[in-house]
Amino acid sequence: DQQVKQNSPSLSVQEGRISILNCDYTNSMFDYFLWYKKYPAEGPTFLISISSIKDKNEDGRFTVFLNKSAKHLSLHIVPSQPGDSAVYFCAARGSGGYQKVTFGTGTKLQVIP
Amino acid sequence: KAGVTQTPRYLIKTRGQQVTLSCSPISGHRSVSWYQQTPGQGLQFLFEYFSETQRNKGNFPGRFSGRQFSNSRSEMNVSTLELGDSALYLCASSSSGLPNTGELFFGEGSRLTVL
């Protein structure tokens, strides 16, 4: 049962344009959402997060949007740079004390110079 | 501050053997989680330990086990290896404070190949 879904395995974007990565979830008990970036031969690194009480969080070129009614979140990267080329994982954590972090299957972003 | 350290980085085993992977978390972090990454499956949660106790467990068979020591270092073991166990095994540590935002700090992983 894939509770966090990233339906686009890959995405190609021109340098300088906007990259939009999407993520859907099914568990309404998730209350914290995160994005991780992973380069080959490295572990994932934390990028940005959002609490379920917010609908937007911004950090430099990265913005995450959360639509709770649609159980959908997206990561916007503006402007996209070649160094952003990586696999991006959406993740979610349940509410109440400590809950495990559930990851999506990832989207491979390629930014073309 | 040293990051999460995983050993070994690469290993090759044959079917039926067992393997033990090690993870040293960031100093001060008491929670250690293990994930399996395979193509098309993303990161699948194996288990999480806090203060030597398993707090969460994923949907993996009993061949997958783990433990945590008093210094927060953790090991995971896979017995009777199968070809499908070939994967990148990632360890992540996090601080123990609440509220837990879920931010995990990952190691570089141990790449297991089963022949």
* Record: contact A98-B98, CB cut-off 8 A: yes
CA separation for the pair A49, A64 (Å, rounded): 7
* Record: contact B43-A89, CB cut-off 8 A: yes
Mean pLDDT of each 10-residue bin along chain B, 115 residues long:
90 97 94 90 91 91 96 96 96 74 88 96
pLDDT for residue A97: 60
The residues of chain A scoring below 50 in pLDDT are none
* Record: contact B105-A46, CB cut-off 8 A: yes
Picking from A6, A32, A97, the nearest residue to B102 by CB comes out as A32
Closest Cα in chain B, distance from residue A85 (Å): 17
Q: Which residue has the tokens 């141990």?
A: B110
Give the residue among A57, A104, A13, A83 at the shortest CA–CA distance from B41. A104
| Closest residue, chain B, to A106 (C-alpha) | B42
* Record: contact A93-B106, CB cut-off 8 A: no
CA separation for the pair A10, A29 (Å, rounded): 28
pLDDT for residue A109: 98
CA separation for the pair A64, A89 (Å, rounded): 13
Task: Kindly tell me the burial class for residue B96, based on how many C-beta atoms sit within 10 Å of its own C-beta (0-12, 13-18, 19 or more).
Answer: middle
CA separation for the pair B33, B102 (Å, rounded): 11
| Closest residue, chain A, to B59 (C-alpha) | A1
CA separation for the pair A71, B73 (Å, rounded): 36
pLDDT in tens, A54-67: 999 999 999 999 99
* Record: contact B40-A105, CB cut-off 8 A: yes
Looking at beta carbons, which pairs linking A48-56 to residues 24 or more positions away fall under 8 Å? A48/A75, A49/B101, A49/B102, A49/B103, A51/B101, A52/A95
| Closest residue, chain A, to B37 (C-alpha) | A105
pLDDT for residue B9: 96
pLDDT for residue A94: 82
**Amino acid type, A21:** L
* Record: contact A103-B45, CB cut-off 8 A: yes
Measured CA distances, B6 to A33, A67, A95, B98 (Å)? 26, 37, 29, 26
Closest Cα in chain B, distance from residue A66 (Å): 16
Which H, E and C letters describe chain B, residue by residue? CCCCEEECCEEEECCCCCEEEEEECCCCCCEEEEEEEECCCEEEEEEEEECCEEEEECCCCCCEEEEECCCCCEEEEECCCCHHHCEEEEEEEECCCCCCCCCCEECCCEEEEEC
